[in-house]
Amino acid sequence: MTNIKLQPKPDAPTKSVPLTFDALKVACSQCNLRELCLPLGMTEDEMVRVDTLVGARRKIKRGHHLYRAGDPFEAIYAVKTGFFKTDVLIEDGRDQVTGFLMAGELLGLDGISSETHTCNAVALEDSEVCLIPYEELERLSSEVRTLQRHFHKVMSREIVREHGVMMLLGTMRAEERLAAFLLNLSQRFTARGYSPTEFHLRMTREEIGSYLGLKLETVSRAFSRFQEEGLINVQQKYVHILDYERLRHLLSRCPA
């Protein structure tokens, strides 16, 4: 059984080296995120094999890229700590944030199709990811059935998530979009043991707007409106949901 102690955080002034590789292997079996990353019900033996799959960790400083569109695809990444956004750019400068990712979520699935990353992944706070070499994942998942099934489910879940975003972008108005966004964050924070009603946004209004298909001013106005209505308390990046139910109700199309 692999047993590796977590390295102490140096948090050193490595300012000129934003991407640091950590030679230490990390044991998934010991990780407190394993229920998020891995299937339930693996045997001890399977677990040991998964421990060999996940490679080094990698630290990404806030504002730095984990990968960029065009980079060769070699691995997927599991967020260990921190917060990321992914976005797609087109020539004329437009960009679309396609997702925000937090602990236990997987980055890089888009790269499998063309063996090249098709979007950018940027850390929104100092973060750490686990590196999962794709070749090895393929090999192991053909041997460990529960892993294969799990990986397929993760990919499928991403497709379903994106359907939700399409619904949001295609049919909802500004305030509905923001409500859906806040509720989704709330739910994901809850699943990670944080407060469902109080959290810090890691992204700017502009990034929220890009994700929601709105301009930053519209996002800001929607926040202010929610505050006026007593739905939330918002102070810059700090958000406190005061009336969860009424926020949910906003999504059921009862035009105020």
Partner DNA sequence: GCTGTAGTTTGATATTTGTCAATGCGTTTC
Partner DNA sequence: GAAACGCATTGACAAATATCAAACTACAGC
**Is residue 255 at the binding interface for DNA, with CB under 7 A as the rule?**
yes
- The structure tokens 């108005």 sit at 173
- Residue in 136, 220, 244, 251 binding DNA, rule: CB under 7 A: 220
- Residue in 107, 131, 214, 241 binding DNA, rule: CB under 7 A: 214
Residues 175-194 vs DNA: string with x where CB under 7 A?
x-------------------
Identify residues 230-249 at the interface with a copy of itself (CB under 8 A). none
Q: How far apart are CA 162 and CA 54, in angstroms?
A: 26
Token code pair at residue 214: 């709105």
**Is residue 252 at the binding interface for DNA, with CB under 7 A as the rule?**
no
Q: How far apart are CA 60 and CA 127, in angstroms?
A: 5
Query: Do 162 and 227 touch, CB atoms closer than 8 A?
Result: no
- Residue in 69, 213, 229, 242 binding DNA, rule: CB under 7 A: 213
Q: What angle do CA 156, 158, 160 make, to 5 degrees?
A: 70
- Residue in 92, 236, 245, 254 binding DNA, rule: CB under 7 A: 236
- Report the residue number, 117 or 202, with the smaller CB distance to DNA: 202
Q: How far apart are CA 70 and CA 118, in angstroms?
A: 6
**Is residue 61 at the binding interface for DNA, with CB under 7 A as the rule?**
no
Residue 175 interacts with which of DNA, a copy of itself, none, CB < 5 to 8 Å by class: DNA
**Is residue 169 at the binding interface for DNA, with CB under 7 A as the rule?**
no
Smallest gap, in angstroms, from Cβ of residue 69 to DNA? 21
Residues 97-116 vs a copy of itself: string with x where CB under 8 A?
-x----------xxxxxx--
Q: How far apart are CA 190 and CA 197, in angstroms?
A: 9
Distance of CA 89 to the CA centre of its chain: 18
- Report the residue number, 71 or 126, with the smaller CB distance to DNA: 126
- Report the residue number, 17 or 166, with the smaller CB distance to a copy of itself: 166
Residues 17-46 vs a copy of itself: string with x where CB under 8 A?
------------------------------
| 66 residue type, one letter | L
Smallest gap, in angstroms, from Cβ of residue 205 to DNA? 3
Task: Give the helix/strand (H/E) hosting 256.
Answer: none
- Residue in 25, 221, 244, 251 binding DNA, rule: CB under 7 A: 221
Long-range contacts of 15-24 (CB under 8 A, 24+ apart): 18/60, 18/61, 18/64, 19/58, 19/59, 19/60, 19/61, 19/64, 20/58, 20/59, 21/56, 21/58, 22/56, 22/57, 22/58, 22/59, 23/56, 24/56, 24/57
